[in-house]
Amino acid sequence: MGSGYGENIKLTIFGQSHSEAIGMVLEGLPAGVKLDIDAIERFLARRAPGNSPLSTPRKEADKPVFVSGLSDGCTCGAPLTALIYNTDVRPGDYEPYKNVPRPGHADYTASVKYGGYADYSGGGHFSGRLTAPLCVAGAICMQLLSAEGITVKARIAEIGGIAGDEAQMLEAVAYAKAAGDSVGGIVECVVDGSPAGLGDPMFGGMENRIAAAVFAIPAVKGIEFGEGFNAARLKGSENNDGFRVSGGRVVTESNHAGGILGGITNGMPLVFRVAFKPTPSIALSQHSVELDKLTDTDVCVGGRHDPCVVPRAVPCVEAAAALAVYDAFLGRKREM
């Protein structure tokens, strides 16, 4: 299965790119919380295409409709359900890829897994579009975390190998687009204000929990916390974060650990980075196969493609992080 997440809240995501609707059910929220629907919509707008010169100009209106879980605009304890209706549905467009899988996409693996019965239109349940309900859930968790003084903020760290300079990043995307190609990148996320003590030992560590949420975003191929892969190249004396007392509380002098020790938050900013592969949809001809005849062929993926998903992925990473952190936060309440 796999469309569910959470130990203390339970998120279920449903829908396919071209089904009547996509959406989510979120169970376990506290009752009596006034949701800021505008803020949820603004958050969703950040992942919509057309916002950034770095992404495609196509426009979608992803407006969540809350069909259950609210009473007088407040959470009422019942599962919260939001739908986003798919208005611009053209299943026929994807008919060819049912038999000729697109490289880098889930067409082939979905075909094997579901014995030819997968919904191939627009990637079906594997579409990046399914990050919209993830963002609905994440936006709600961010509101709840914010009330506890915890903020979640991600940013583009790198695009096409270029860090820091946005003009150069833009150029890399434009260059790839002109060539019918695509680029990937890295998103960095910081969770600030988290108390020490979130997370559990072993499989319940914050790294495990965040990774298990973040890899739900299509195109993610790596995650690292604090120094991450760079820690593998440091000495213990360089990587350890010494403790100090500051303002009456325990802090660390540096934050190579990214705010996590033994899987549990230490009260310092929780920092992680996520690697996104380049968009698999490219205009260039690629090698593929005809699944019915088991013969080689070539495929050209038509249509408007986003030459770089990274800008739109930023709120998705925030959403996944907020979900994981809020779930751990609720678990911590049980202990106190």
* Three-state DSSP state, 317: helix
Contact between 63 and a second copy per CB under 8 A:
no
**Nearest residue (CB) to a second copy, 57 versus 262:** 262
Contact between 69 and a second copy per CB under 8 A:
yes
Contact with a second copy (CB under 8 A): which of 158, 173, 189, 194?
158
Contact between 14 and a second copy per CB under 8 A:
yes
Q: What number of chain residues touch a second copy (CB under 8 A)?
A: 156
Q: Which of residues 160-199 bind a second copy (CB under 8 A)?
A: 160-161, 176, 179, 181-186, 196-197, 199
Residue position matching structure tokens 């002109």: 178
Annotate each residue in 256-275 with x if it binds a second copy (CB under 8 A) or - if it does not, as one string.
Answer: xxx-xxxxxxxx-------x
Q: How far apart are CA 316 and CA 327, in angstroms?
A: 17
Q: How far apart are CA 163 and CA 167, in angstroms?
A: 10
- Could you give the residue ranges of the DSSP H alpha helices within 256-309? none
Instruction: Write the CB contacts of 305 (distance below 8 Å, at least 6 apart in sequence).
Output: 56, 182, 279, 281, 282, 283
Q: H/E element holding 246?
A: strand 243-246
Contact with a second copy (CB under 8 A): which of 77, 96, 193, 269?
77
Which range touches a second copy (CB under 8 A), out of 36-44, 55-63, 139-147, 221-229? 221-229
- Least spacing, CB of residue 132 vs a second copy, in Å: 13
What torsion, rounded to 10 degrees, do the Cα atoms 323, 191, 217, 143 define? 40
Nearest to 153 by CA among 43, 314, 328, 310: 314
Contact with a second copy (CB under 8 A): which of 284, 300, 302, 303?
284
Contact between 304 and a second copy per CB under 8 A:
no
